Every structure is written in structure tokens, then in C-alpha cells.
Structure 1
Amino acid sequence: MTKFPDAAPPKAVQAGSAISPSAPSAPLSRRGLLSATTRLAGAAAVIAAARAALPAGAWAATADAPETTKAILGFIALTDSSPLIIAKEKGLFAKYGLPDVEVQKQASWGTTRDNLELGGAAGGIDGAHILTPMPYLISAGKVTKNNNKLSMRILARLNTDGQGISVHRRYSELGVGLDAGALKAEFAKQKAAGKEVKCAMTFPGGTHDLWLRYWLAANGVDPDRDVSTIVVPPPQMVANMKVDTMEAFCVGEPWNAQLVNQNIGYTALTTGELWSKHPEKSLGMRADWIDKHPMAAKALLMAVLEAQQWCDKDENKEEMCEIVGKREWFKVPVKDIVGRAQGTFDYGNGRVVEDSPHLMKFWRDHASYPFRSHDLWFLTENQRWGYMPADLDAKALIEEVNGEAMWREAAAAIGVAAADMPEGTSRGKETFYDGAVFDPENPSAYLAALSIKRVA
């Protein structure tokens, strides 16, 4: 089995409010009139600048003002971290009273975990762009030092879809794609010849691990017995396949597209083909930080939700990619990011799909809302592979970690109508590409129907 790696809102102050009348005064001289005109022009310039910087208005200090102006958030260089970067770059954190929010790059998901354990006050981070299962694994003490439990909360889903499973270009001759039945015999042949067959993901029990495992198992390949499932940080995936250390990997963008652009391998499938509109990354925060700063947490969430709305607009995709591609963020050519962000997928094996329904979504189709039924699927799959115990009280853990109530408060505060929010906390039954159905009302039946698993 794969081991874990070491280690009511404030009201906006509108510019241009009326000036209170004063007592009558003597008529202005020509010099006085010019002086007054100059002062008014200066004031108008300041107001115009404020409007340009904060088009929706600045937030006044009230009893509901954030308890702190600072939070430290981590991110990995993946396109689905864009809402945090855009919230910083576009001044949305500042707009909601958090001008000192820092968004810091993390080297790996293991580093993200370590820095969350430290916390912002001790040189780490308070929250992060994170693989959805990780706050559960951390809260349960499954991936932490000495198995200490650190309570986390998920405040929003950052995106749906937009990941990929890529394979080395030599497998194009076998026609490996969503249907990869030929891999079982091929991998067995390589093992018989003494080669260790490696498939990479980004963190045990995380989304990429679960997509890779689901795909392999659905094609008859046991991810623990037929191959070695290894951990590689997202930005290192392409380099590792270039030196031929792996047969396949699962990761988010832009690394699948970069692999294609460098002609090293190709995309066998996008994860949206495996499960359409599947949940992916989340905004996770330490629970103690939220409990200490509840209004700041809500303000931070409001900024991220507004950034998600901005990122999801087609007319903003190119600018988004130009921003996140900068040296201080991804340090990646825009051409490696923008195509798939806009819905054009060059798979690298002669297949090109335009206007793909499986492009990354940040807001549409309730992409931002953290459905509890989705968290239950992740926990069930973690039970499937032995990362979580078979007797896990999933309902209690979801009650602790899932923060959908704060999501609804923050969404209402930025003007999202109740009719535009999900009616309940479940999206209902989910159907996968191989015909498997997950019913959140009966997860045990889903588990029982799976042929390759580690749980009885």
C-alpha cells in the first residue's frame, strides 16, 4: 500500500456622498473660487482612483468588521488555485477588509500539510488551496505528525473538473485512453521483465490519487499490486516523465498540457470524462483560525467567491492565465494554461476537442458549493483503499469539517440569490463512466459493488 509522504455584511461606503449643508458664508473671491475648484478636482481624482481600485466599493469598519486584516494562505501551482491568486491580484481581499492576506506558494501537498500543522502564527499557513480529502485526513489525524488530529474546515469548493491522466507517448500505439484494458497485460509483461511499473499522483488519499486508482481499477489494474503508485509534486510531473521514471500520472493543469506541448506524452483522459462535474480542490482553513476570526473568515470567503465568479467568465480566462502564469505565481508559459482553461483540449495523440464540457469550472453549475454528498464519496473511496477505517463515522466527520453554512452566508452577502444556491447539501446519485453509481444514501452498497478494493 502506498505510504503517506513525510512529513449580515458591512455596508459599502459609496463615493460621492452628499456634503452636509453649512452656515451661509461670504461670496467667494476669484482666488477663493479657483482654490476651491482645485480642491474639488483633487478630491474627485481621489474618488475616481478609489472607484477604479475597488469598483464595488470599500467596506466600512463596523461591529461586523474582520477581527484581523491578515491571513496566510498556501497554494500549489495548479490552475484551480486561480481564485486565491485573483482575489489577491484584483484587491478583493482588501475590498472586504483583509488587505494583508498573503498567498504563498507551496512546494508540494506534503509541504502544505506541514505548514497547516504549524499555523500562520508559527511561520506556517492558516489555510490553503487544497485537495478536498486532505482536510478530512488532517482532521482525522491520518497524515499528520504522530497522528495528531488538527481540526480543519472546508469553506468552499474551488472548482470542478479540469484534471487529467496522462501516459507516456509509447502507449499511444495501444490506444490507451478512457478505455485502458490493454494496460493490464502490458504492465504484467513489464513486471515479468523485471521493471518496476510506476504511476504517479500527488498525495495519498487526495483527489489525483483517487482518480488514478479509479481509472486503473476500472480497467482491471490493481493500483497497489499491479503497479507502484508513487507521490510526485505537481510541478515535477513533466520532468519525471521526461526522464522515463513513470508510465502514467494524474495531476491538475497546466501540467498535462505542458506534457503535450513538450511531446513527452499525451492525455489519456480528462477527469471530467471519468466523472462529469466532479468536485476537485477546496478552500480549507484551520478550524481554530476560523473560531478566533469568524468575521474575517466570512470576509475572506466572500473575496474568494467573488474571485471564482470572475474566473468563471469566458471573457476573463485569458487575463486569468496571464496573471497566474507570472514568475511570482506559476512561472509557466501562458500557452500551457490558456487552451484548456478556455475549453480547448489537444490530447496530444491526434485528438482535439473544442468547447469541451469538461473544462475547469469555478462557479457555474454550483461548482463553488461544498456538497456534503461529495465529501462522503471521497471518504468512501478513502475507506476503499485503506486510508480511512471501515468503521469510520463519516457523518460526524463531515459535520466537523464541511462549512457549507458559512458558504451560504458569504454567498448571500455578495448578492447571490437564494434561488441560485443549491436546495440541499446533496447533489444526489452520481454516475461514473463505467456505469458505477454512488448513492450518498447508501455508500456501503457502492463499496460492496467494487471488485478491486482493500476493504472487505
Structure 2
Amino acid sequence: MTSLSRRHFITTVGIAATIPLLKGCLGNPPDEPSQSVKTTAPQTSAVKPGEEPEVTTAKLGYLPIVEAAPLIVALAKGFFAKHGMTDIKIEKQANWGSARDNIKIGSQGGGLDGSQWQMPMPYLISEGIITDKAKVPMYILCQLNTQGNAIAVASKHKGKGLGVNLTGKASYFKEIAASGTRFKAAYTFPKANQEFWIRYWLAAGGIDPDLDVELLTVPTAQTVADMKRGAMDAFSTGDPWPNRIVSEGFGFSPVLTAEMWKAHPEEYLGMRKDWVDRYPLAAQAILKGVMEAQQWCDNFDNRKELASILATREYFGVKEEVLLEPLMGKYDLGERKVDDKSLAVLYWKDSKGSVSYPYKSHDLWFLTESVRWGFLPKETLANAKQLIDGVNREDLWKKAAQSLGVAAADIPTNTSRGVEKFFDGIEFNPDNPQAYLDSLKIKKA
């Protein structure tokens, strides 16, 4: 990392990002039935002579949220096997800290070769920021999904006018703070996606997330129990957990992240650089299996089967109906209902084009937002292109897409998706990230 103070980088991020995560059990809740995995026999091999993968196995991690669906489906429906990866293992992680620790040690040490990630975790891992200063170079291979997230709020805040836009509601949060206990807002890992969504939502309404609320980290599968016992006021995470909170009567969802930023970048497939460099054909095979799974997941005719696969004990361990309606874009948010497939989780295409392609401009937004909140030093932006070019392997995505026969019109020709517009009217122009920072009223930078 050049022109960037590594000591400053570590100081501003490392301590907070490595705080111990609360332990949560991802097993079946006691009231839910045991289910078995529904798998499909391996499809006819699509491996061309001379393109056989160097190895047939890899260990990939996932968290039980809808972002993981392409990895699970690629295994369960035989897409990995179709491309020669017949012995892939996907392993449920107890929390994001576990995924981080397992990628650090790698599969040879009993850990992982790759995983689903919130952003910008692959960058923080590559720089040793959240791995005890041990650099573990990573490659981002694809974006797994867009949308499929919500912010859930405890029922005691119903009827207070909390919605998509919080403008005019800052006084409510200040009143709670004045009573002696601040509004507690939780997310699944510090300095990553879910914290960014809740920070943006609050700040857009004039609520300073560092002064007016208390922010905390809670593992995804612990959210329902913690909301039920009153340990938090709000939680930002992926489906099915917000829907469970609503369906079980503990809270409501004032906002879907798709309403904050339609077609926003969400989670990614990232693998250890050394593994991809050692096994380039196997990496291509994994990518092709995931991309075919994304296409399958994006077909709404398959969403019932998708819910059935994800609901099993081996994967999410929840009731199928908790997953199905959100997968179909049908959200009972507690105070209102949404029926709009364009706001559902999407895996292959959205209103702006490709979901799977990892736009470098999106990586830049995550780094810029990190600077906004003081998670990374300002010098990060001066180094952003070098950082992104070293981690984001969109070229490997394009190679896999061409090998799969993806239509040329569906393969982006620009690493930037262009100007992004948020629900509050703020715009992010990747050609001028400083202008974005300057336009924000609440920030640390």
C-alpha cells in the first residue's frame, strides 16, 4: 500500500473490526422441523478438453442469509460438478469473524479457500487490517446478489413515524438518548455492508449514528432472540432474519435497502489470491458454477424450490414460508406491505444491468464510505485505483462469462456503472468521490 500510512490504516480500522463477536448458534430453532438437503444429480459435464480444473475440490464459506444462495444452489443443483468441481465443500460459518479467521488459515490449515463476503472485507483482509496484521491477499470474483436486506426495528417504536425517510425524526432519537439509554442499532460485522446501510439511513434523516444512537455487532442468527429480549432497537441484515422478526411479532421493518439504493451492490464471492493463482482453471470452474446458479436463482419460477433448498437444516434451518414471500418480493413490513419483484433479492440481472459482474466503481463507493465514517484515512482515495485493481478480478468474470456463452450485451464493457443515486437525492460519481463526501452533511471525514 503506497502513500497510505499503514499504521494509521490499522489504527483507524483494526481495533474496532477485530472486536470479539457475540457467539450465536446457527442450528435449527427448537420449534422448526428437521429437513434434509434437496440436491440434484450432477449435470452433464461441460468441461472442454484441455480445460479440466487442476483440482476438483475447494472449501467455501457462507452465512445463512439469502446472499449465500448462489453458492448453495451451485452445489445442490450440480452446477459446480457440471464444470468439473465435483468435490466442492461449502461450510456454514458461525459469524463473519469465523469466516475471516478461516480464510486467514486457509483450507490447508482447516479453514477456507474462499467465502461470501460483506464489503469491503476482502480489502481489509488483503491489507491485514482485520487479520491481526497478517496480510492475506484476496481476489473478488463476482458479486453474489443485490438487495434482499432490510432494517428491522423493535415493536415498541411502532407508530412513531419511522419510515424510509427519517427527516424530522432526529428529535425522537435525541429524546431516547436524553432518557439515559440511546437507541441501539445492530449489524453483523463492523465497518462493512450492514453497518453502512444503517448509518446511511440514519444520517440521511439528520441522525448522527455516532452521537445519537449506540451501534453494536450481533451475529445474524442471534438477531431474533436479541430483538425478542429487548437487547436492541434495530437491526440491519439480510433475509430471512428481518422477516422472522416481523412474522414473530417482535418488530417491523421501516425500510428495505432496495428502497434506499435500488440495485445496490451487496455481497461478493472472494477467494484467496494464492489459491486462484495456483488453480486458475479451477477458479474459472467455480465462477462458472456460481454464475449458472445465479441465473437459476434469478428465475422467479424457481423461487419456491430455492426457498425449499435454503430452508433445510443443513443450510438455514428455518421454515420455508419465512423465506418464500421475501424471495418473491412480497414483504409484510409490519406497518405496510410491499409486493414488487423489482425490490426482491436479485442474483443475475437488475434494472441497471448485470448483478453478478463486480463493478470497480462499487468497490470505490465502499472505500469512500469507509473514509466518510473515519474507518479508513483520507489518503485511501488517492490509492483507491491501485487497491481496487489488486483485488477486483473482473477480468476473470468476463473470461468465465464468455466461456459460458453469456450474450455480449450482458457482459459490461466498463468497470464503472456510472453515477449512483440514493433515496435522499445524494449522488455518487465514481469519477469524483470527493464531491460525494463534500455533499454529505453528517460524516467524520
State if a TM-score over 0.5 links the two structures: yes
Partner of residue 251 from structure 2, selected from 237, 255, 265: 265
| Gapped regions of structure 1 (runs ≥ 5) | 8-51
The answer as to whether partners of 2:187 and 2:217 remain within 8 angstroms in 1 is yes
Partner of residue 129 from structure 2, selected from 142, 156, 161: 142
1:185 is displaced (CA, Å) by 1.8
1:446 is displaced (CA, Å) by 0.4
Query: Where does residue 357 of structure 2 map in the other structure?
Result: 369
Larger radius of gyration: 1
- Note the alpha carbon deviations across 1:114-145, whole angstroms, 9 max, x for none: 11111111011010011131101211222111
The answer as to whether partners of 1:176 and 1:182 remain within 8 angstroms in 2 is no
SS in 1 for 2:379: coil
SS in 1 for 2:159: helix
Q: CA RMSD in A?
A: 1.5
1:54 is displaced (CA, Å) by 4.4
In 2, Cα distance between equivalents of 1:194 and 1:288: 50
In 1, Cα distance between equivalents of 2:278 and 2:249: 50
Q: Percent identity?
A: 44
Q: 1:164 to 1:103 in 2, by over 3 A?
A: same
1:171 is displaced (CA, Å) by 1.7
In 2, Cα distance between equivalents of 1:181 and 1:3: 29
Matches within 5 A, 1:221-232: 221-232=207-218
Query: Where does residue 432 of structure 2 map in the other structure?
Result: 442
Query: Where does residue 413 of structure 2 map in the other structure?
Result: 423
SS in 1 for 2:116: strand
Flag the structure with more relative contact order, 1 or 2, with Cα contacts below 8 A and sequence separation at least 6. 2
Which piece of structure 1 moves more, 224-233 or 251-260?
224-233
In 1, Cα distance between equivalents of 2:19 and 2:191: 14
The answer as to whether partners of 2:47 and 2:82 remain within 8 angstroms in 1 is no
Which piece of structure 1 moves more, 135-144 or 302-311?
135-144
Matches within 5 A, 1:274-313: 274-313=260-299
The answer as to whether partners of 2:55 and 2:279 remain within 8 angstroms in 1 is yes
Partner of residue 93 from structure 1, selected from 42, 57, 80: 80
Query: Where does residue 23 of structure 2 map in the other structure?
Result: none
Query: Where does residue 195 of structure 1 map in the other structure?
Result: 181
- Note the alpha carbon deviations across 1:164-197, whole angstroms, 9 max, x for none: 0111112221120112245422222222222143
In 2, Cα distance between equivalents of 1:294 and 1:199: 42
In 2, Cα distance between equivalents of 1:61 and 1:356: 37
The answer as to whether partners of 2:182 and 2:212 remain within 8 angstroms in 1 is no
SS in 1 for 2:186: strand
Query: Where does residue 110 of structure 1 map in the other structure?
Result: 97
Query: Where does residue 28 of structure 2 map in the other structure?
Result: none
Query: Where does residue 197 of structure 2 map in the other structure?
Result: 211
Q: 1:205 to 1:94 in 2, by over 3 A?
A: same
In 2, Cα distance between equivalents of 1:183 and 1:436: 19
In 1, Cα distance between equivalents of 2:209 and 2:125: 23
1:295 is displaced (CA, Å) by 0.6
- Note the alpha carbon deviations across 1:378-426, whole angstroms, 9 max, x for none: 1100111122121011111100111110001111111102222112111
In 1, Cα distance between equivalents of 2:359 and 2:47: 32
Matches within 5 A, 1:347-362: 347-349=333-335, 351-362=336-347
Query: Where does residue 52 of structure 2 map in the other structure?
Result: 65
1:227 is displaced (CA, Å) by 1.4
- Note the alpha carbon deviations across 1:191-220, whole angstroms, 9 max, x for none: 222214310011112111100000111111
In 1, Cα distance between equivalents of 2:339 and 2:347: 19
The answer as to whether partners of 1:5 and 1:203 remain within 8 angstroms in 2 is no
SS in 2 for 1:58: coil
Matched length: 408
| Gapped regions of structure 2 (runs ≥ 5) | 1-11, 21-39
Partner of residue 389 from structure 1, selected from 371, 377, 392: 377
Partner of residue 128 from structure 1, selected from 101, 104, 115: 115
Query: Structure 1 counterpart of 2:178, which letter?
Result: A
SS in 2 for 1:199: strand
Query: Structure 1 counterpart of 2:83, which letter?
Result: Y
Query: Where does residue 331 of structure 2 map in the other structure?
Result: 345
In 2, Cα distance between equivalents of 1:132 and 1:194: 34
Query: Structure 2 counterpart of 1:387, which letter?
Result: F
